């Protein structure tokens, strides 16, 4: 019989963060977990031990932690999430400073996008931390931007199940993605959350394949077409710079 770890889980937030990291990366070392949480290795070990006990994680032969049977989610095909966050973090902070709004970094996982990093605005009225949030790719601004970077045939294949159930009208979506390709960015006007709007742009590799997306999330009360130019310019600059940074 498995023995329960001697220290009970006290931080739900830390545990959920570790779950998101395991789902995103597919493998997590103790030192990386401690650094990402900003806690001591012993604290990170206690948290991971509880996840192992509950089958949300399992320890491999090399002592790294992997998603357990209770966390049956695919990991990313894009670059290592921890590396991506560290390399792009300064650029995301710059975008947040230039726009005064919250900035999200997201990745495409099948038909969904997962937000893997948030730089939260300092304004009193702001869009809060969305890290770990999963949204339909065809709704989220970052998701649409990444779908627009793919050929229509691949988009149709990715969203085949959603099209079959009627969740997505493919012809309408493909027309919208054509507009995204022309503009270079996608807009989500309260389609995923009331009171929240966002614009997103894809971060691509040298072949044009989407690796991630950066988006600026704005309270709808502060969002309008007249404000788009001041948000779009720094967003597109950030996306281009992020693409170059990942290519280095």
Closest CA to 50 of 19, 9, 3: 9
Q: What is the pLDDT of residue 134?
A: 81
pTM of the model: 0.75
Q: Interior CA angle at 236 toward 231 and 85, to 5°?
A: 100
Phi, psi of 148 (to 5 degrees): -65, -20
- Taking alpha carbons only, the member of 53, 42, 59 closest to residue 5 is 53
pLDDT at 5: 53
Q: What are φ and ψ of residue 136, in 5° steps?
A: -60, 135
Q: Which residues of the chain have pLDDT under 50?
A: 1-2, 4, 8-9
136, with CB counted inside 10 A (0-12, 13-18, 19+), is middle
**Helix or strand (DSSP H, E) at 63:** none
Q: How far apart are CA 138 and CA 145, in angstroms?
A: 9
Domains and their CATH numbers in the chain: 12-67 (1.10.10.10), 81-247 (3.30.450.40)
Short-list 177, 182, 188, CA closest to 104: 188
Query: For the chain, what is the total number of helices (H) and then of strands (E)?
Result: 9, 8
Coil/strand/helix, residue 233: helix
CA distances from 46 to 30, 127, 169 (A): 10, 32, 47
User: Do 65 and 31 meet the contact criterion of CB atoms below 8 Å apart?
Assistant: no
What is the pLDDT, as a whole number, of residue 2?
42
Do 221 and 125 meet the contact criterion of CB atoms below 8 Å apart?
yes
């Amino acid at each position: 019989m498995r023995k329960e770890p001697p220290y009970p889980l006290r931080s739900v937030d830390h545990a959920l963060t570790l779950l998101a990291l395991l789902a995103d990366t597919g493998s997590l070392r103790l030192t990386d977990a401690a650094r990402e949480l900003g806690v001591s290795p012993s604290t990170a070990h206690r948290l991971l031990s509880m996840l192992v006990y509950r089958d949300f994680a399992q320890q491999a032969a090399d002592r790294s932690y992997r998603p357990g049977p209770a966390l049956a989610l695919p990991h990313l095909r894009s670059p290592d999430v921890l590396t991506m966050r560290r390399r792009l973090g300064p650029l995301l902070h710059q975008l947040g400073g230039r726009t005064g709004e919250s900035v999200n970094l997201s990745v495409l996982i099948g038909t969904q996008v997962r937000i893997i990093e948030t730089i939260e605005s300092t304004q009193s009225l702001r869009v809060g931390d969305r890290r770990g949030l999963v949204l339909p790719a065809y709704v989220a601004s970052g998701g649409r931007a990444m779908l627009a970077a793919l050929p229509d045939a691949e988009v149709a294949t990715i969203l085949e199940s959603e099209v079959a159930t009627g969740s997505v009208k493919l012809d309408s979506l493909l027309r919208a993605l054509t507009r995204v390709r022309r503009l270079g960015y996608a807009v989500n006007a309260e389609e995923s959350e009331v009171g929240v709007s966002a614009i997103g742009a894809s971060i691509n590799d040298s072949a044009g394949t989407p690796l991630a997306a950066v988006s600026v999330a704005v309270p709808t009360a502060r969002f309008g077409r007249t404000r788009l130019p001041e948000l779009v310019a720094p967003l597109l600059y950030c996306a281009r710079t992020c693409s170059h940074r990942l290519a280095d």
